[in-house]
A and B are shown apart, each in its own frame.
Chain A
Amino acid sequence: MSRTPLLEVETLSRYFPVRHMFGWQLGKLRALDGVSFAVRPGETLGIVGESGCGKSTLGKVLVGIHPTSGGRILFEGRDITARSVALRRAVAPKLQYCYQDPGNSLDPRWTVRRSLAEPLVVHTGLSAGDREARIAKILHQVGLPPTHLDLYPHELSGGQQRRVGLARILTLQPRLVVLDEPTSGLDVSVQASVLKLLRELQETFALTYLFISHDLSVVRTMCDRVAVMYAGRIVEMAPTETIFAAAKHPYTLSLLSAIPDIGGRRVTDTFALEGEPPDPMRPPSGCRFRTRCPRAAAVCASTDPPLRHVAPGQSVACVLA
């Protein structure tokens, strides 16, 4: 894989204004607060964190569903932060977003054929015949029979809907796909087949994935590198095995210690993290994790640690690491 990043994000922020009932602004909900990272072509970067950490917002801001409140997004070297209509149309085919349940992204009143054809109609000048050929090919590549083209989403099973949703994204042959919690809520056996399908598609279409998930064990099997988010910031970023073997940020360590390890120690015996994530409107001064951090020191209240390099490929946002 080449070394020039496909996607670069620089101090990306997204604030949601919180308003009183009369429209006065009470405060800002800092969903994303200065996030920076880069994604190389062909890799799978995992974004992990718990609710409220900003990972879903990150995915949506990247694809332009939400506007930014600060920072820059560079895709293929081009600044796409200010999303004008023309820019959006140029970029959208190559930078796609996949919902937690891709079946839900289909219009329930449109047949599969029509839903699959729509991206092509909007973005390409292909003739009807060419479109039909591409659709048939994609459907085959996601493992669905051509008879499904004339069905409606509610006539398909959940798994089949999911495949159609994925196929629709792939009709435009994107370069990067943001996967938002692709395995949440799935039974273990279904999860395995979804992950397998994602791997196959990545190979077939030479895709780069941004894999957003709260499930660390899934992330471990799918991702090359992992970024851990907390309260709108990235607190640690490193190759996958480094995170699991040698994490340095106290939050990452707590997160890892919360994962059940079948056959190993019991979390219920060893887990020590108390409390809950901070109110996104009023984060603590200094380091946001300090109110729960077992290693918090006086300096943590006054400095907001930036993400800095501590080992080859590993960055941590902690003054004590």
Chain B
Amino acid sequence: MSSTHGSDVATPGDNLLEVDSLFVSFITGAGVAKVLDGVNLTIRAGEILGLVGESGCGKTTLANAILGILAANARHEMGSIRFGGEDLLAMPRSRMEDEVRGRRITFIPQDPYGSFNPLFTVGAQTLEVMKWKSPQRAPGEGRGIAGFFSRYPRARRRTDAEAIGQMLRAVQLPASAAVAGKLPHEFSGGQRQRLMIALALLPQPRLVIADEPTTALDVTIQAQILKLLKQLAKRRGISVLFTTHDLGTAYEICERITVMYAGQEVETAPVDDFFRRPHHPYTVRLLDSLPRPGRQLREVGGEIARLIDAPAGCRFHPRCARATDICRRQRPPVTSLGGGHEVRCYHPIVEAASR
């Protein structure tokens, strides 16, 4: 079936999404919180990129910025998010809602228990998604007064229903026929995440943003979901932006990893290189504090940087043993260390780490 996605057809390896010097602040009662401080990020077509960071680092805000669902008190001050050649931040809201959000870029949320409306059956909610986000739907179809009568053309309904059936099998939900008539609370957390994956893939997106999708799940269910997501994404050539604070999960599913600290991205590398040879002091300490048998527990030390009166320059400098004057004054530029490994640090750790 032809897709109307035109301009963002990209060959694998090309950049699908480019975040360029993004600055986002939130106006709060306590002051202005500079949540994203000049973030650069690229996601290539067909790759799974991990966005790793602890709470407050800005990864959720970045995901929300890409989807265009920042809170009302957010201010985008500078920077762009280019997707398929267009700047999403400059796109009119109606186009963003109609063509991009939930269609070319879809979302898998963290909490499987809050993502469904408890009053409607899963079948009804899935059909709702297909009504507005099916790949067969023409842009603007069914909207406005003119669209009132052509809201959900019959021709599409059958193909959509087949697609739904296939997708439910693909996410390995038991007896897909029985799924449709059930209410969300009749499903376990793991099953709900499978449903969310199905809903995220049905519109045939180019990019799926998965926001900590396995944090709330048991470890064996997590393993199942990660395996499923990886399989489906690779098979269909879909890019995934996978945010997490769990390095183990990032190791499992991601091909490249970007680490964020307090609104700044500090290191990016292909996954194996990232874990074998981290260069940024924060990354090194983060990896060190993972519990390992027979090793002393090492803390990162200090407190997470506040975003309201954030430190100038490199935001990690108050906790960094290697900080010098320039670190306090100016944010380090990107240094490329070869092999796709980039770091933002004036004094990166270059000797090989213990792992």
Which A residues form the contact surface with B (CB < 8 A)? 50-51, 157, 187-189, 191-193, 195-196, 199, 214-218, 220-221, 241, 244, 254-255, 257-263, 266-268, 271, 273-274, 276
Contact = CB atoms under 8 A, between A and B. Distances in A.
Contacts of B276: 263
B248 A260 contact: yes
A259 B248 contact: yes
Given A187-B55, A260-B246, 18 more contacts: A50-B219, A50-B220, A51-B189, A188-B245, A188-B246, A188-B290, A189-B289, A192-B298, A195-B297, A196-B299, A221-B295, A241-B293, A259-B219, A260-B249, A262-B355, A263-B276, A268-B227, A271-B224
Given A263-B275, A263-B355, A276-B190, A191 B224 contact: no
B14 interface: no
A193 B54 CA distance: 15
B289 A260 contact: no
Given A260-B251, A262-B275, A192 B219 contact: no
A121 to B, nearest CB: 34
A36 B271 CA distance: 44
Main secondary structure of the interface of A (DSSP, over half): helix
Contacts of A221: 291-293, 295, 297
B128 interface: no
Contacts of A241: 293
17 contacts: A50-B220, A187-B245, A188-B245, A189-B289, A192-B298, A192-B300, A195-B291, A196-B299, A199-B297, A214-B218, A217-B248, A217-B291, A258-B219, A260-B246, A262-B287, A267-B223, A271-B224
A191 B289 contact: yes
Nearest to A217: B291
A191 B223 CA distance: 22
User: Which 5 interchain pairs have the tightest Cβ spacing?
Assistant: A260-B248, A50-B218, A189-B300, A187-B54, A258-B223
Nearest to B294: A221
B253 interface: yes
B227 A267 contact: yes
Contacts of B295: 221
Interface in B297-345: 297-300, 303
B41 interface: no
Interface string B265-298: 0000000000110000000011101111101011
Interface residues of B, number: 41
A188 B293 contact: no
B224 A189 contact: no
A255 B295 CA distance: 22
Contacts of A273: 220, 223-224
B219 A216 contact: yes
Nearest to B230: A268
Given A216-B219, A220-B293, A267 B252 contact: yes
A172 B132 CA distance: 61
Contacts of A188: 54, 245-247, 286, 289-290
A50 B223 CA distance: 13
A215 B221 CA distance: 13
B222 interface: yes
B183 interface: no
Contacts of A50: 218-221
Contacts of B251: 260, 262-263, 266
A214 B217 CA distance: 10
Contacts of B221: 50, 276
Contacts of B227: 267-268, 271
Nearest to A269: B227
A193 B112 CA distance: 29
A192 B297 contact: yes
A193 B251 CA distance: 23
B213 to A, nearest CB: 14
Contacts of A192: 289, 291, 297-300
